[in-house]
């Protein structure tokens, strides 16, 4: 049966791979991100024409409202899966306390609010019972090393567990994936050096970075109705990283 699946951060990287995975399975997608041109390009790569794109900044309530309105306008009464993949790390070295506050706000907006506002906007439309929510955290939540980014990704874990308790009685599952080093996305921008790559790879059991498709495969599995008894969980997709 075709499901309606909303994916944020779908214009690039892991979000795009997730969107492709669900589209290959025959689902209708709603792709969300800030850059409309990236979403349009992503739409063209999907194997069927039943998906739409909504350009919105999900760290802003107005952006989440736009997604809610677009979903309603498309006639999607029920949302079966929400994948909150949008996220980013702030590239700044804070000096003053005001800088520290700015960086922490930016990382919480990009990684926590983008997920919370999206799910909250669609909450009433989630299929009951049966909907699945998957948030994209990070091993930085457990391993540290990312300061405000690590803290924001850890906050997602607490939220996922709370939401699983809240929505569980209505038959809705809520989980997170925590990727390790995934290459081939826009996440690192120009901050990936050969030395950093080697350092990150050396910490994995598999001695290689992950691919967006390998994360998408786990998101897909968590959204499978057959996996309905998995909720409140965080699944690491990190090549056995230490
Ligand atoms: N790559 C890794 O090694 C790694 C490891 C662990 C966790 N993660 C997490 O995985 C997720 C996907 O990252 P990625 O590696 O695929 O990097 P990416 O290619 O940079 O993808 C992030 C996506 O999020 C979107 N986005 C960012 N802020 C947004 C906002 N305020 N509203 C709406 N969309 C927003 C971006 O699109 P726009 O700029 O167009 O909005 C972009 O498409 C992120 O949450 C990241 O923290 C990545």
Instruction: DSSP for 146-183, please give it.
Output: STHHHHHHHHHHHHHHHHHHHHGGGT-EEEEEEE--B-
pLDDT for the residue numbered 36:
98
User: In sequence order, which residues have a C-beta less than 8 Å from that of residue 195 and are 6 or more positions away?
Assistant: none
- Helix (H) or strand (E) holding 47, with range, is none
Side by side, which strands form the sheet with 132-136?
A: 52-55, 28-33, 4-8, 81-84, 132-136, 173-179, 234-237
pLDDT for the residue numbered 92:
87
- Helix (H) or strand (E) holding 200, with range, is helix 194-202
Whose Cα sits closest to atom 36 in ligand 1? Answer: 9
Q: State the closest ligand 1 atom to the C-alpha of 209, by its place in the atom list counted from 1.
A: 3
Q: Which of 4, 34, 89, 149 is catalytic?
A: 149
Q: State the closest ligand 1 atom to the C-alpha of 59, by its place in the atom list counted from 1.
A: 31
pLDDT for the residue numbered 77:
86
Cis peptide before 127 (omega within 30 of 0): no
3-state secondary structure of 55: strand
Which residues of the chain, if any, have pLDDT below 70? none
pLDDT for the residue numbered 168:
98
User: In sequence order, which residues have a C-beta less than 8 Å from that of residue 81 and are 6 or more positions away?
Assistant: 3, 4, 5, 6, 22, 27, 131, 132, 133, 134, 223
Mutate-to-test residue for ligand 1 from 187, 208, 237, highest number of ligand atoms within 8 A of CB? 187
Q: How far apart are CA 174 and CA 81, in angstroms?
A: 10
Cα of 5 vs centre of ligand 1, distance in Å, is 18
Whose Cα sits closest to atom 23 in ligand 1? Answer: 9
Region at 239 (left for phi over 0; alpha for psi -120 to 50; beta for the rest): left
Q: pLDDT tens, 8-39?
A: 999 999 999 999 999 999 999 999 999 999 99
CATH architecture for segment(s) 4-237: 3-Layer(aba) Sandwich (3.40)
Told to judge if 229 belongs to the known catalytic residues of this protein, a careful annotator would answer no
Q: pLDDT tens, 129-161?
A: 999 999 999 999 999 999 999 999 999 999 999
Q: Please give all residues whose beta carbon lies within 6 A of any atom in ligand 1, as ranges.
A: 8-9, 11-15, 33-35, 38, 57-59, 85-88, 110, 114, 136, 138, 179, 181-182, 185-187
pTM of the entire predicted model: 0.98
């Amino acid at each position: 049966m075709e499901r309606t699946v909303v994916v944020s951060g779908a214009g690039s990287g892991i979000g795009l791979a997730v969107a492709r995975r669900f589209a290959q399975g025959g689902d209708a997608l709603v792709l969300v991100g800030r850059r409309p041109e990236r979403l349009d390009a992503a739409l063209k790569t999907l194997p069927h024409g039943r998906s739409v794109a909504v350009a919105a900044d999900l760290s802003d309530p107005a952006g989440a409202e736009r997604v809610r309105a677009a979903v309603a306008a498309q006639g999607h009464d029920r949302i079966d899966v929400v994948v909150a993949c949008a996220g980013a790390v702030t590239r700044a070295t804070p000096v003053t306390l005001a800088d520290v506050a700015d960086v922490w706000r930016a990382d919480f907006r990009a990684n926590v609010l983008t997920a919370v506002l999206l799910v909250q906007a669609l909450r009433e439309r989630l299929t009951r019972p049966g909907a699945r929510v998957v948030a994209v955290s990070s091993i930085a939540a457990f391993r540290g090393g990312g300061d405000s980014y690590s803290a924001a990704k850890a906050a997602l874990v607490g939220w996922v567990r709370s939401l699983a308790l809240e929505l569980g009685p209505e038959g809705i599952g809520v989980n997170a994936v925590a990727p390790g080093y995934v290459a081939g996305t826009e996440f690192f921008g120009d901050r990936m050096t050969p030395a950093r790559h080697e350092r990150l790879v050396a910490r994995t059991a598999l001695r290689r970075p992950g691919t967006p498709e390998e994360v998408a495969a786990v998101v897909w599995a968590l959204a499978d109705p057959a996996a309905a008894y998995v909720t409140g969980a965080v699944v690491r997709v990190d090549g056995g990283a230490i």
